[in-house]
Structure 1
């Protein structure tokens, strides 16, 4: 899959449309929360929000994060989490939704 095609398919989600409700876990790149996405069409979708640690989005680490997102985006399987989009939090930290 072409990288620019992948980025073009991801929706950029306003962080004000996202709400973190419960912390599910934490890893080297950041924390994962159960959350909700208030979509522009009025629907609310339950999602996982991966908030990257501040500073993680520099150079090679940022590329690794996008590779992970690209892999998840390409897979269409009920046991694999779908990537809906990306967002930037209030501190300009990267969020994967």
Structure 2
């Protein structure tokens, strides 16, 4: 059986004990093959967790952290004052 076939079959087995038993039998003492398949299974499990989070959430998390780090509390209050001044000026032009 090829490595890809073993990986696909093992990936379908959710129960860790059943997966281990399958690999015991399928790899039949080939420790290098077993190690490669287990390493690929571990990488697939890690990637699945990453891919479950939508990209838009990742962008929002990044942007929120960036903005929070970039604007100190003293600057945030100054910006709020400028925003109020602009709103007041717009109100006088209407």
Q: TM-score, normalised by structure 1?
A: 0.27
Which structure has the larger Rg over C-alpha atoms? 2
- Write 1 or 2 for the structure with the bigger share of strand: 1
Structure number with the bigger relative contact order (C-alpha 8 A, sep ≥ 6) is 1
